[in-house]
Chain A
């Protein structure tokens, strides 16, 4: 802050001026009125002498008043501006997250009251923050326990039916195999739900644990294609990948998380496309960004579902009848991962005709490329 904008500076000069200017004016008038009288009564030499004396006296008085008023102005201005500086510094520190601040103000005036209120406010903020930290800690503890408690019985069921299906306990007839297969599918979707719930909770807490590294995006998509090919073949959907960019596109990304994000969209595209349809993935470079397009010939998204598609636990009205599987968490997770990468995700869809999802991610050199995701930027990103 420039000194001439400070409160201290303004108070100081105002007070000095208030002391000195009236003094200067009144002495000017006095000298002027005496001057004419003195020159009329006395001789020129004596008058000159007397006037010189008067001038000196007035100058000394003026100097004295100037010094006194400067001194007083300094004291008063400092008295007002100092506590404000202290408060400003305290607020700055609190803004940075340090809540261990208490200001000592002994004054009983308005500034003293302000200080007291300030201390009270900081106390309240501290309480709230502590409560929130406690809730967050309890929540993550609950999730850990719940995950273990839910996953253990799910593992028991899974291991039991796989052992039976593997023939570890003797051969099975086809009907037994079919019925157990149905149970297996339901159990698998429960496992997937628990997994997604854990991911969603970690995302909400801002501790999803991103590890950004230099990633060849084309190679990444090829790997993704290999992983999803079997699922698409099973459904009778053709799955293709076109990489249009000539250069190798590098991203600063967490490949594991990105696999979840892009994988969810590809899974949805395959799942909601009828046998004989197609899902095409393509990659283009757009300046500082890489854009992936995932185009399917599936059932599309109904207009009324479009705004809420990325919301937690939301499932499209048309898919609920079609398939009971699906957790309603996939796209919520996808969006959060993409946003944490500094990217965007959106879609175009024509009901019953098909959907195209777009994922735009910053390339390595881009200023939007993530380096370190903090909780703040996560909250801001929602």
Chain B
């Protein structure tokens, strides 16, 4: 049984809220700015998520392989392999596939289309959303992906 189906089975019958209480939902935050990363990670932890971090694309892929997060919050402009590179790798390798919310300060139609083509679930411009709004979007995507398939 692949990790993906195991993960889906573990989670499919449990509402997100009860998973959150038990710190069972694991998120990966990929963000190169330390302050933003810490702020967002702090917020997500207070919301009851368990959070792993990465500051560039290579590290993000390592973390995805090692930690199997339920959801990824992904910045696009990163040192080394950028966010598009991470999305492309996930698209190529089904075992790495994870629902992803792109969280970037890019935001032209081209960038959005490209990210969505690579399989991102949502595209949020950092400057246009508060951490609280991001938390809500995370819950929505988790709900849609794991509970209402």
Contacts of B43 in A (CB 8 A): 163, 168
Considering the chains assembled together, what is the distance between the CA atoms of A315 and B128 in angstroms? Answer: 24
Residue A155 at the chain B interface, CB threshold 8 Å: yes
Is A144 touching B106 in the complex (CB atoms < 8 A)? yes
Contacts of A166 in B (CB 8 A): 130-132
Is A160 touching B109 in the complex (CB atoms < 8 A)? no
Contacts of A142 in B (CB 8 A): none
Residue B2 at the chain A interface, CB threshold 8 Å: no
Contacts of A155 in B (CB 8 A): 36, 105, 126-127
Interface members, chain A 184-226 (any B CB < 8 Å): 191, 194-195, 198, 202, 207-209, 211
Q: How far is the CB of A198 from chain B (nearest CB, A)?
A: 7
Is B108 touching A151 in the complex (CB atoms < 8 A)? no
Is A211 touching B109 in the complex (CB atoms < 8 A)? yes
Known: A148-B106, A156-B36. A191 touches B127 (CB 8 A): yes
Considering the chains assembled together, what is the distance between the CA atoms of A163 and B134 in angstroms? Answer: 12
In this complex, the member of A148, A155, A202 whose beta carbon has the largest number of chain B beta carbons within 10 angstroms is A155
Is B105 touching A147 in the complex (CB atoms < 8 A)? yes
Considering the chains assembled together, what is the distance between the CA atoms of A144 and B108 in angstroms? Answer: 9
Contacts of B106 in A (CB 8 A): 144, 147-148
Interface members, chain B 8-56 (any A CB < 8 Å): 33, 35-36, 39-40, 42-43, 46
Is B128 touching A159 in the complex (CB atoms < 8 A)? no
Residue A158 at the chain B interface, CB threshold 8 Å: yes
Considering the chains assembled together, what is the distance between the CA atoms of A195 and B126 in angstroms? Answer: 12
Is B33 touching A162 in the complex (CB atoms < 8 A)? no
Residue B141 at the chain A interface, CB threshold 8 Å: no
Interface members, chain B 110-149 (any A CB < 8 Å): 110, 113, 125-128, 130-132
Residue A23 at the chain B interface, CB threshold 8 Å: no
Taking residues whose C-beta sits less than 8 angstroms from the other chain, chain A's interface range is 20 to 34
Q: How far is the CB of A230 from chain B (nearest CB, A)?
A: 16
Considering the chains assembled together, what is the distance between the CA atoms of A198 and B111 in angstroms? Answer: 13
Is B131 touching A151 in the complex (CB atoms < 8 A)? no
Contacts of A198 in B (CB 8 A): 107-108
List residues of B whose CB falls within 8 A of some A CB.
Answer: 33, 35-36, 39-40, 42-43, 46, 77, 105-110, 113, 125-128, 130-132
The 10 closest A-B pairs by CB, nearest first: A209-B109, A151-B105, A155-B126, A162-B130, A151-B127, A155-B127, A191-B127, A154-B127, A148-B105, A159-B39
List residues of A whose CB falls within 8 A of some B CB.
Answer: 144, 147-148, 151-152, 154-156, 158-160, 162-163, 166, 168, 191, 194-195, 198, 202, 207-209, 211
Some 22 contacts from A to B, beta carbons below 8 A apart, are A147-B106, A148-B105, A148-B106, A151-B127, A152-B36, A152-B126, A156-B35, A156-B36, A159-B39, A159-B40, A159-B130, A160-B35, A162-B131, A163-B43, A168-B42, A195-B128, A198-B107, A207-B108, A207-B110, A208-B109, A209-B109, A211-B109
